[in-house]
Amino acid sequence: MTEKIRRNFAVTLERAATGDDRLVGGCCVPYNRPTKVSDGGPPYMEMFVPGVFGHQLGAAHSVELRYQHQDDLLSRIGHGVNLEERADGLWGTFRVFAGTPGDQALALVDAGLLTGLSIFGTVRRSARGSDGTVVRQRVDLEHVGLVDTPAYGEARVALRRSRADFDLPELPDDEQLARLRAVGITIA
């Protein structure tokens, strides 16, 4: 039998270096941080180790971003653009879809009300440490949720880019039109 798990993490807000104003991201899963969790039964200690998601690093696009792990169509608010293993955990960047659900999610992130990340996946391999901690060694990441209350303090939204973050020069209208014409755009 395969075990499905959902884990929430908290991360801090930081700005992206890209020009995409619909990106959110952060540490999806901290590594080597034993934490007390429960899957509906008695609580136990659990820890994720580096490499647990290594088999999926090249398939970020197949990982959905959801609002609070809900499964309805409107809660599917984005998709992965990058998954990266760092020493402290699995970091992910997600593009939020344009439209009302995505716009509302971004507004909640900007307001500091939706700052946690939470993973949902299928456990493929675990071991029990000498202290009884369940060590997650291989998990298939199915989706990441934007949540308000993370279980792990390290998994918070750490990336949000907005158009206001760009310092674009003001150009005279004739220069702007010349640049547009140079790339094949004409304005009547």
Question: 82, 68, 91: which is closest to 12 by C-alpha?
Answer: 91
Q: What is the pTM of this model?
A: 0.74
Q: Which fold has domain 3-182?
A: Serine Protease, Human Cytomegalovirus Protease; Chain A (3.20.16)
What pLDDT is attached to residue 22? 87
The reported pLDDT for the residue numbered 160 is: 56
Quick one: CA torsion of 32, 15, 25, 92, rounded to 10 degrees? -60
Q: Where are the domains of the chain?
A: 3-182
Q: Which residues of the chain have pLDDT under 50?
A: 12-17, 161-169
**Cα gap 50→90, rounded to integer Å:** 8
Confidence (pLDDT) at 177? 67
